[in-house]
Structure formats: structure tokens, C-alpha cells
Amino acid sequence: MDGHQMPAAAAALTLRYGAGAEPKAGPWSDTIALMLSHRSVRGYKPDAPPPGTLETLVAAAQSAATSSNLQTWSVVAVDRPEARAELAAIAGNQKHIEQCPIFLVFLADVSRNGRLAAQEGTELAGMPYLESFLVAAIDAALAAQNAVVAAESLGLSTVYIGALRNDVTRVAALLGLPPGATPVFGLCVGYAAPGREGEVKPRLPQAAILHRETYDADDQGHRAAYDPRMAEFSRRNEMAGDTWTKRVIARLGTMKALNGRDRLKEKLIALGFPLK
């Protein structure tokens, strides 16, 4: 690492992990600096990005790895205000879905390969299985993350909308999805509104995530060190569930917190994913 990069790298790692919890700075680049500066933004200017931005983001997304080059994902760009309003309602009234200039719905999509098989007069015996859905969902996630990094490199901000899974049936109907295609999450893209730029959220210490040779489940100490950092972040950002421990319990501790996603399997089956 160049000498002039070391202070920047150390500062970025401290911002991401907290003072005293950051790993030692290693090799560094502008790309890594960009990735460590990621934050979720939930307030957007109405300003549209330059023409061709959507297509550039999709090109970046399509450059992500895809299992066996099956390319079992698609994305729907949603512009209609009435559709945006319904998607926002499905996602718990997240108004930034209506604000952002670009809103994308990423799909796990095996329907295209199903059409290929029909046109070729053959069957895809492996397609009805859980593995095929998992591959499609992973493909969509990899593609979307490429799009996020590309967007942030252009000065745009983003936030994922997993709450579209509250009602995949309604989303599928709204977007006219064929059997074998389902929403896995949405993505807001745009320029952050003044005062809504967000803050880099601290992550668990690397020692809680990085295991060497065998898994170390003795992570209570890591959680105890992380909870105060998350509590302080929550206070600064006026967020509920101040510690990470409380967030996990609030998010997974009751069926109500799933907001209908406890029925996701049956809805996916109805949308053309047998999940054998």
C-alpha cells in the first residue's frame, strides 16, 4: 500500500467497524474505499440521473457472476406512479420507493429457461427443485450488488427493499410476471436528498465473521462489544431497537415481524417454483 493510502484506508476501516475494532489495513484501492463507504439512503431528490444510467447499471449487473451462465434473473424498472405507490404500500409504506428516480425490482427468474425448453421441445428435469430457485435468487443478488457498486461509483445512492417479499403475489400481479418469476427485493437508486445522505453503519467485528480452518461459535464477546456501537449509531440516526441484539430479537422473535413472509414458501409454489 502506498504511504498516502494508509491514512485513508485506516479511516475507512474505523468508520465501518468502530475505533478499536477495525482490522489492520491491507491492500487498498479506490474501489475498496467506495465499497466501505456504502450506506443505505431513504430520502431522494427528484433529479433524474443522466440518460443511459439505467442501461449502464443493468450492464454492470449483467457482468456479475451467474451460475453455469444460466442467467436466471431479471429486473423490472418501475416508473408508473400508481405502481410505485402500491409497491410502497406492500413494503410497509416506504415512501422512498415513490421518491427515487429509478426503482428496480429484481427477480429470481427461471421462466426464460422454461420458455427455452418449450421452444426446443424438451424438458428441464432439474428446474422444479429448490436448487434452481436458490441459484436464481443468488444470481439476482449478485447482479443487484454489482448495480449498487456501479451506482455509488457514479455518485448515486441506493437502498434495498426486501419488504417486497411481504406479498410476492401482489407484486407479481402488479408487474405481470409469468410463472417461474418472483420478486426477491427492490432497489431504490437516486441522489440523496440534503440531510438524508445516511451514515456508514458499523458491522460486527471481523472476528465474528471470519473463521480460520474451523467455525468458532464462541461469539458472545464479539456481540457484547458490538452492541454499544450499534446503540450509538441508532441514537444518532433516531432508529428503534438500539442494540444489534435487540434488533435481531425484534426482527425474528415474533411471527408478526415477518409481515406475511411466513407464507412465502406457499406463495412461491403458486408462482411456479415447485421447490421439490
* Contacts for 50 with CB less than 8 Å, ≥ 6 apart: none
In the prediction, which pLDDT does 241 show?
64
Q: What is the predicted pLDDT for the residue at 3?
A: 59
Q: How do strand 73-77 and strand 157-161 relate by DSSP bridges? A: unpaired
What was the pLDDT predicted at 7?
Answer: 86
Whose grid coordinates read 431504490? Answer: 188
The whole-number pLDDT of residue 1 equals 59
* CA gap 48, 264 in Å, rounded: 34
The sign of the CA dihedral 205, 209, 214, 216 is positive
Q: Tens-digit pLDDT profile for the chain (276 aa)?
A: 565 677 899 999 999 999 989 999 999 999 999 999 999 999 999 999 999 999 999 999 999 999 999 999 999 999 999 999 999 999 999 999 999 999 999 999 999 999 999 999 999 999 999 999 999 999 999 999 999 999 999 999 999 999 999 999 999 999 999 999 999 999 999 999 999 998 999 999 999 999 999 999 999 999 999 999 999 998 888 777 689 999 899 889 999 989 999 999 999 999 999 999
**Would you call 215 helix, strand, or coil by DSSP?**
coil
At a CB cut-off of 8 Å and minimum separation 6, what does 118 contact? none
Beta bridge partners of 40: 158
Specify which residues 109 forms β-bridges with: 181
- What's the pTM? 0.95
d(CA 159, CA 41): 6
What is the tens place of the pLDDT at every residue in 97-125? 999 999 999 999 999 999 999 999 999 99
- Which DSSP letter does residue 167 get? G
At 207, list the grid cell: 472476528
Beta strand 181-190 with 102-109 is antiparallel
Q: How many residues in the chain?
A: 276
